[in-house]
Amino acid sequence: MSTAKRSPPFRAEHCGSLLRPDELVKKRYAVAAGEATQADLTPLEDKSIAEVVKLQKDAGFHIISSGEYARHMFWGTFFEDLNGMEELQMGVLKGYDASIFREYAPDVKSFLESKEIPNSVTVCTSKISHPGHSSYQREVDIMKKLLPENEWKNIKITMISPSWYHFRYKAGRAYPKDVYANDEEYFADVAKAYQAELKYLHGQGIRNIQIDDPNLAYFCSDSMLEGWAADKGNDKTADEMFDAYVKFYNKAFERPEDMHLGIHLCRGNYVGSRHFSEGAYDHIAKKLFQDLNVDTYYLEYDTPRAGGFEPLAELPKNKNVVLGVITSKFPELEDQNKMVERVNQAADFIAKGSGQSREEALQRVCVSPQCGFASHAEGNALGYEDMRNKLQLVRSIADQVWPGQP
């Protein structure tokens, strides 16, 4: 007999970002251009978030997010709000130009090839520390007003990964040498900032955190690994860097026992449904699943570029996986029965690895779109109703595989 789950992860999940209404996108750009004020934007954000919370509830979801409507991009403002980090335009500070980037980092490579500035230029300029407040406070406050207190634990707050402003920069360029002598010193202060943030959010009633991390999935990319090996400036092999990140993340993710923390790995999700890398999880699976201190893995599985389900055999019995078998990039709806079959196939690999039955393995499995619908302001190449249909499909798949479970 299956038991209904009343806390994250839920059988029907999504990855946090949802398509923003056009008027919200336009108003935010107007604010950035000086043609409107934050006072003009705030009530529109409130209205839009209330509407998207209703959409999620109407679709039968128990996990509820703000759609990331109070931010412009998926990574939010966590690093930008830390003491010691500074957002800047290229060339503003001497020594900061395109040469600081790993040109083979998949997203950076894509931007440089298209002659775009990489999508964020935030650098460490002094010792990093937590500011004592949360840049997500507004999201938290809005959501708590919209939901009864017994549902606050289901609010999902998405945060960027600890390596976001490290991986993209060449070795030793993520911080000034007179501030941090090495990665270990930099990692230690960033980890303390994450610990403080998780403790702060917990004090606000938040129990559900999702870390968004394209970087670890980039270690599945052959072209990235080749670029890494050819880079004579690296003082670590790619495997050594991955190990260092796992150790770093585990320190950063120290949290209260009743706080659920998941990590979402994808291969890029940019304007126009663009992705940045390919490669199966096989190369990183054992370390990812067995060594990383998270409760749940949100994995991209909508196209062959993510490989097969075989690596899930490494998933320990105390961890969950959310299978992103539904694409958020395009409007065409997947066949429900085929997706149910895929969920069962994945459960079979999990069962084989842990010596369980399929039914037992399914108790650690959930389903979702493979990524957010709007990691960036403009969103993917589909419409609002397409998104609604995708969410309803996720709910229908969950109901077929796990009848009566949220």
Domain 22-401 architecture = Alpha-Beta Barrel (3.20)
Decide if pLDDT at 275 tops 70: no
Tally Cβ neighbours within 10 Å of residue 61: 23
Between residues 378 and 368, the one the model is more confident about:
368
Binned at pLDDT 50, 70 and 90, residue 2 comes out as very low
CA 313 and chain centroid, separation? 23
Count helices and strands in the chain by DSSP H and E runs: 14, 8
Residues in the chain: 406
- Measured CA to CA, the distance from residue 41 to residue 48 in angstroms comes to 11
For residue 40, pLDDT beyond 90: yes
- The pLDDT, as a whole number, for residue 398 is 98
Residue type present at position 43: P
% of residues, the chain, pLDDT over 90 = 79
Distance CA 101, CA 174 (A): 9
Worst-scoring range by mean pLDDT, 104-113, 164-173, 346-355? 104-113
Average pLDDT over residues 228-239: 96
Would you call 310 exposed, middle or buried from its count of C-beta atoms within 10 A (0-12, 13-18, 19+)?
middle
pLDDT at 327: 93
At residue 313, what is the residue type?
A
pLDDT of residue 114: 61
Residue 253: which residues within 8 A CB-CB, separation 6 or more?
194, 198, 211, 261, 293, 294
Residue 315: band (very low, low, confident or very high) from pLDDT cuts 50, 70, 90 = very high
Mean pLDDT on 36-56: 97
Please tell me whether residue 113 adopts helix, strand or coil conformation: helix
197, 78 contact by CB (below 8 A): yes
Instruction: Specify the higher pLDDT residue, 330 or 322.
Output: 322
Q: Is the pLDDT of residue 1 over 50?
A: no
pLDDT, position 44 = 97
What is the average pLDDT value for the chain, to the nearest integer? Answer: 91
Task: Count other Cβ atoms within 10 Å, centred on residue 230.
Answer: 9
Given a cut of 80, whether residue 95 has pLDDT beyond it is no
130: Cβ contacts below 8 Å, ≥ 6 apart: 82, 83, 192, 193, 196, 197, 200
Residues 6+ apart with CB under 8 A from 270: 107, 110, 119, 276, 375, 376
Q: What is the pLDDT at residue 87? A: 85
Domain boundaries, the chain: 22-401
CA 403 remoteness from chain centre: 28
Query: In the prediction, which pLDDT does 89 show?
Result: 62
SS3 call for 262: strand
Q: Report the pLDDT value the prediction gives residue 3, as an integer from 0 to 100.
A: 41
Q: What is the mean predicted confidence (pLDDT) over 114-118?
A: 56
Please report, to the nearest 10 degrees, the dihedral formed by the alpha carbons of residues 12, 17, 23, 25 taken in order.
-170
User: Which band of pLDDT confidence, cut at 50, 70 and 90, is reported for residue 273?
Assistant: very low
Give the contacts of 288 (CB within 8 A, at least 6 positions apart): 216, 246, 265, 281, 297, 314
pLDDT band at 375 (very low <50, low <70, confident <90, very high): confident
Residue type, 22: D
Give the whole-angstrom CA distance, residue 285 versus residue 315: 8
Look at residue 96 in the predicted model and tell me its pLDDT. Answer: 58
Q: Could you tell me the pLDDT band of residue 9, with boundaries at 50, 70 and 90?
A: very high
